[in-house]
Amino acid sequence: MNILSVFGWGIRIGGHFQSALAHMKCLEKMGHHLHVLMPGGESAADVVQEFINCGVAMHLFHKGPRRGRFPSYRGAGDIVRICKDSKIDLIHAHDFISFPASYIAALRMRKGIIFTKPGGPANNLFPPRTVDAILYSEELLEGMVTQYSLDPNNIFLIRARIDTDSYKPEQVTAAFLQKYKLPQAGRKIVMATRLEDNKKPWIDMMLNFAERLAEKDEPAHIIIAGEGKLLDELEANSCSMDTKNLIGRIVHIIGPLYTIRELNQLYNYADVVVGNGRGILEAMACGKPVVILGEYDEGELVGAENIQDIAYFNFSGRHFRPQARGKSGLTPLLYKLMTDQQLLAEAGSFSLDYIKKYMAAEIGANAVLAVYQRALLKKHSYRDYLQWYLRLIWTFFLASSKRRLVARIPA
């Protein structure tokens, strides 16, 4: 099968791209041929190379979909051209921005069409009732079906998406430690995240813990990896904390890691990995204990007793929201983990076993292939497209009207 995957955003190191890459890698091994179409000038070269190394053929939009308030089908011509040149059987739109153009192209070429929404709670970016959709979380699936009366028979929950050939237990090399000037002694607590404003609550939680840790002169280190506009600010803040600690440097801001190989090294270096989203799944694949974070200083060790709730919300930490506040926060939990070797070992063993049984990309790729084969047999019409488009615009209008009305109501 020849499959064209379309992205409306440039490929970065983020979780959604890694999930897609993990499935593509498995599909290539099965003998299928993968093509990727993405905007030019936005992608991280090292991440693009990861796709190329798996045998994926890369293409650039001449002019990709617009990123505005309303769905754009600009770029459909590029998709049609690649479908003709590469004898594409099926088009997979990996985000909402790329979906309208992909849908139009599929109608013109009479090809199968698949939609994926990366994550988050349900919002007004929903697919047509007639198009098969792949989602990664039960929270999103149930929200979509409930809010927009989507046909549950056309929506498929596929959680398994971790490349266990790349993320696995391994020895940390001296070259990696030297490159990022990482300490070898003491407990190492690692967070890998985008250093952007929307991640600030979780980054602040780690810095608050580091500040308390510095005052106790504990032999431990906080390592934060990532890229974004907060990088310079974090480096400055870490210097002020390090001066309080008699042992020496405690906070290590190491910047971006662009390759899967280096991310795997970082997770294997850690004693505990802290965060939320796909990153903690990758750390679990390395056999590491992981602590999932909530928005209000909640922290919880991932284990058998809470994994179902955590997985329902796609490892986002949103499972904390319905719970009563007042639970012990992140700091006591991390102190306990720093001193309890047996708890660390048991949590790490659970992590590795869970990923192998439920989250390995090979499992997910087989499920994705079954959806692809089903989509090849479906017929779509311009009438379906028009009905979906008008409903989508109406939903945008209602949401916009509601926001304006709320803004006018006096506080």
List the beta bridge partners of residue 274. 291
pLDDT at position 326 = 45
Whats the size of the chain, residue-wise?
411
Residue 205 lies in a domain: yes
- Residues 278-309 as b/e (b if ≥16 CB within 10 A, e otherwise) read bbbbbbbbbbbbbbbbbeebbbbbbbeeebee
- How many domains is the chain built from? 2
- 130 and 66 belong to one structural domain: yes
Q: What is the pLDDT of residues 34-62, one digit of tens each?
A: 999 999 877 778 888 999 999 999 999 99
Structure tokens at 393: 């615009």
Structure tokens at 19: 């999930």
The DSSP line for 114-153 is EEEE-SSS--S----TTSEEEES-HHHHHHHHHHH---GG
* Helix residue ranges, H only, 157-289: 174-179, 200-216, 231-242, 260-269, 278-285
- 208 and 347 belong to one structural domain: yes
Q: Tell me which range, 37-41, 331-335, 346-350, is most confidently predicted by mean pLDDT.
A: 346-350
* Average pLDDT of the segment spanning 10-39: 92
- 94 and 202 belong to one structural domain: no
Q: Report how far Cα 55 is from the mean position of its chain's Cα atoms.
A: 22
- 81 and 211 belong to one structural domain: no
pLDDT at position 246 = 46
Q: What does the angle CA 104 – CA 105 – CA 111 come to, to the nearest 5 degrees?
A: 110
Residue 375 lies in a domain: yes
pLDDT at position 248 = 62
- 96 and 205 belong to one structural domain: no
pTM, two decimals, is 0.89
Range with the poorest average pLDDT among 66-75, 96-105, 134-143: 66-75
Nearest to 200 by CA among 211, 213, 191: 191
d(C-alpha 160, C-alpha 306), whole Å = 18
pLDDT at position 328 = 57
Residue 411 lies in a domain: no
d(C-alpha 387, C-alpha 403), whole Å = 25
Beta strands 90-93 and 2-6, pairing class? parallel
pLDDT at position 275 = 94
Task: Tell me which residue has tokens 């497209």.
Answer: 385
Residue 335 scores a pLDDT above 50: yes
Q: Report how far Cα 378 is from the mean position of its chain's Cα atoms.
A: 29
Beta strands 290-293 and 299-301, pairing class? antiparallel
d(C-alpha 295, C-alpha 6), whole Å = 32
SS3 259: coil
Sign of CA dihedral 34, 88, 278, 345: negative
Residue 410 lies in a domain: no
* Average pLDDT of the segment spanning 321-348: 82
Residue 142 lies in a domain: yes
Residue 168 lies in a domain: no
Task: Tell me which residue has tokens 């926060």.
Answer: 329
- 289 and 144 belong to one structural domain: no
Q: What is the pLDDT of residues 375-391, one digit of tens each?
A: 999 999 999 999 999 98
Residue 124 lies in a domain: yes
- 182 and 144 belong to one structural domain: no
Residue 43: which residues within 8 A CB-CB, separation 6 or more? 10, 11, 12
Structure tokens at 322: 């319905």
Residue 327 scores a pLDDT above 70: no
DSSP at 88: -
- 232 and 155 belong to one structural domain: no
- 376 and 305 belong to one structural domain: no
d(C-alpha 284, C-alpha 59), whole Å = 33
pLDDT band at 322 (very low <50, low <70, confident <90, very high): low
What is the domain range of residue 240? 174-359
- 17 and 38 belong to one structural domain: yes
pLDDT at position 136 = 92
* Average pLDDT of the segment spanning 272-298: 93
CATH (domain of 385) = 3.40.50.2000
- 110 and 215 belong to one structural domain: no
- 142 and 178 belong to one structural domain: no
* Average pLDDT of the segment spanning 358-377: 97
pLDDT band at 84 (very low <50, low <70, confident <90, very high): very high
